[in-house]
Amino acid sequence: MDRATLYAESVVGGKVVAGKPHIQACQRHLSNLAAQGTKDFPFVWRPEKSEEILDFAETLTIAEGEKPRPLVLYGFQHFDLGVPFGWYNDRGYRRFRRSYKSKARQNGKTFENGIQGTYIAGFGGYNYGKLFTAATKWAQAKLAWEEIMKFVLIDSDLSELFKVQEYKTLITALGTNSTIEALSKDRSLDEGFRAIYNSIDEIHQHRDNSIYKALYNGTRSLNETLNSMTTTRGRNLNSFCYEMDAYCLNILNGSVSAEDFFVDIYTLDDGDDPFDEKNWIKSNPLLARTEQGMKTLRTDAQTAKDMGGMELADYLTKCMNMWVQKTDNQYIDVEAFRKCKSKRTLESFKGYPCYVGLDLSSGGDLVTLNIEIPFTEMGRQKYYFYSHSFMPRGRLMEHILTDIAPYDIWEKEELITVTGGKMDFKNDYKFIIKHLKELQEQFDLNYTGIGYDPHNADGFLSDLEDFGCPLTMITQSARFLNDATVDLQLLIRNGDFEYHEGSSLFIWSFINAKITSNSFGEIKVDKEPNARTRRIDPVDAAIDSHVLCMKREEGVDIKGEMENYLKRMGWA
């Protein structure tokens, strides 16, 4: 049996200690073997091609260290190198065009990309191909390139087959005339590359998906390519890396089908003790196999235990490859919020009574409406949230640059209605009225109440009155919003909060939301003090609608309560 499959069987059979995502990766390979060549799965496993790259790897020499030594692969490397190169489609080309591998630091991620790059450039059979090692920073981008350079320079045979020009950061495979270059965001990385291989390193450091998309989009016309992403997890849950990681977990658990995407993630399971040594190999398939590696992990673990705080967070991310949420004033538990996503749309709630929340703004900032629909499922009270935003075209062009947020993509996904032309910078609230009317007609929605942020609302209150439901001004103070803000947190934590899975702008804004409080300990949401571009308007609109929902359910006269509050404050 080929080594990749043998290893997969050992993992699935419980002979190798592994975390759930890695077990799923191995099971995916075995399930594919059982289904190969069928109408629904037109891919074929070619074990000789898998073995070919493994045999090649073990001809290489590791130059780094006290003295050169032959490269010997471990079982997990048989799998991670062998599987992407052993599956072929019905046209005779490699099946996998994308790869995502996540491990704790110092477990050979970049090293494996160096093996792949050397093999594809010199022996992949493609002439005049381009290969790139890429990252956000030049120093990081050079790491995989330098791995290839070391393989070549230490080996007299490879030195005859490759030309290294270190001053240019360029390696040329003389037999194929293929070139290997390092690229970074701050040096030369732009659109238009047609690469047969891209090593995209440490994507948890990437501010957005621009590097990945620039390289991946350039490969679409090629019959065969590999875009290899590697990373260790981090603390920024509002990131391209976190989104990619979540997508890849869905590929492994079978909820998403992406047959061109190889995925392997080494991490602890829920409930695992990160200080229990027997669990460390789940995140450290290389480091935890060596005596020196275990000593290093023990030192890091003890430091994390003793100091806590940032050292603990660093240990969990870098050493255990776990996502660690920044808990300082974070409004929601991001993992709990992600679990609230649903495939249901407004189509599922035709004729239901609902509450509307409006978050308005001056000028051309984001404006959002939220529709909240209470419903009962299996005797449990739940709440469905629909969110839609508006922005003038002129502001959209500005915010794409300043916010590092994909507003243009959200427009295409119809999550934002963009109004006017490139020179329009002011919101036109008539579009909100139009959208509410269209939804009401299409889904027979019964607007029970509309709650609005009083900021700039005067201009279209008469239009809102046409809906024939009570209008309620929602004061944006912690005292007024506290109960709804807290209750929404609890709904999310308990899984009684629901939104459509495609609501990426809605998700983005909830991850951005932080908690601020007044002197009485009452809370409301706000942006990070130094992150004005991390917008939370959809969160504000959701809380506005929930204020109404809670008051109606409690039978409270919200208008009367508001008048009393204003009198107490001396404002009326």
The boundaries of every CATH 3.40.50.300 domain in the chain are 3-266
Q: Select the more confidently predicted residue: 9 or 37.
A: 9
CA nearest 387: which of 484, 474, 508? 508
Identify the pLDDT of residue 518.
87
Identify the pLDDT of residue 411.
87
pLDDT tens per residue, range 168-215: 999 999 999 999 999 887 666 666 578 999 999 888 888 777 788 888
Ranges of H-type helices in 315-448: 334-338, 393-402, 407-412, 430-443
pLDDT tens per residue, range 391-413: 888 887 777 666 656 788 788 88
Structure tokens at 216: 């991946």
Identify the pLDDT of residue 27.
97
How confident is the model over 446-468, as a mean pLDDT? 85
Show the beta-strand stretches assigned E in 253-305.
261-265
Q: Say which residues have a Cβ less than 8 Å from residue 55's Cβ, sequence separation at least 6.
A: none
Residues 232 and 204: beta-carbon distance below 8 Å: yes
Ranges of H-type helices in 128-239: 138-154, 156-161, 210-217
Identify the pLDDT of residue 130.
94
Q: Say which residues have a Cβ less than 8 Å from residue 572's Cβ, sequence separation at least 6.
A: 563, 566
Identify the pLDDT of residue 126.
94
Max Cα distance, the chain (Å) = 88
- Containing 359, the helix (H) or strand (E) segment is strand 353-359
pLDDT tens per residue, range 232-255: 998 877 788 888 898 899 899 887
pLDDT at 284 over 60: yes
Identify the pLDDT of residue 561.
47
Q: What is the DSSP string of 445-478?
A: -EEEEEEE-STT-GGGHHHHHTT-S-EEE---SH
Please provide the distance, in angstroms rounded to a whole number, between the alpha carbons at the two ends of the chain.
82
Structure tokens at 528: 């990070």
Identify the pLDDT of residue 356.
96
pLDDT at 472 over 70: yes
Structure tokens at 379: 């005797």
pLDDT at 46 over 70: yes
Report the CATH number of the 3-266 domain: 3.40.50.300
How many whole angstroms separate alpha carbon 307 and alpha carbon 11? 35
Identify the pLDDT of residue 453.
83
Identify the pLDDT of residue 192.
55
Report the number of secondary-structure helices (H) and strands (E) in the chain: 21, 22
Q: Tell me the backbone φ, ψ of residue 264, rounded to 5 degrees.
A: -150, 125
How confident is the model over 45-56, as a mean pLDDT? 97
Of 5-14, 86-95, 185-194, 323-332, the least confident: 185-194
- Options 2.40.160.20, 2.60.40.2580, 3.30.420.240, 3.30.70.920; CATH for 334-568 is 3.30.420.240
- Containing 253, the helix (H) or strand (E) segment is helix 240-253
Identify the pLDDT of residue 409.
77
Bridge partners for 12 per DSSP: none
CA nearest 6: which of 93, 73, 103? 73
- Residues, the chain, total? 572
Q: What is the DSSP string of 304-319?
A: HHHH-HHHHHHIIIII
Identify the pLDDT of residue 66.
86
How many whole angstroms separate alpha carbon 199 and alpha carbon 16? 28
The boundaries of every CATH 3.30.420.240 domain in the chain are 334-568
pLDDT at 565 over 50: no
Residues 448 and 354: beta-carbon distance below 8 Å: yes
Show the beta-strand stretches assigned E in 71-126.
87-88, 98-102
Q: Select the more confidently predicted residue: 344 or 426.
A: 344
Identify the pLDDT of residue 328.
64
How confident is the model over 509-532, as a mean pLDDT? 82
- Mean of per-residue pLDDT scores for the chain: 89
Identify the pLDDT of residue 546.
96
What is the amino acid identity at position 302?
A: Q
Burial of 289 (0-12, 13-18, 19+ CB in 10 A): middle
Identify the pLDDT of residue 420.
81
How many whole angstroms separate alpha carbon 247 and alpha carbon 85? 22
Q: Select the more confidently predicted residue: 570 or 355.
A: 355
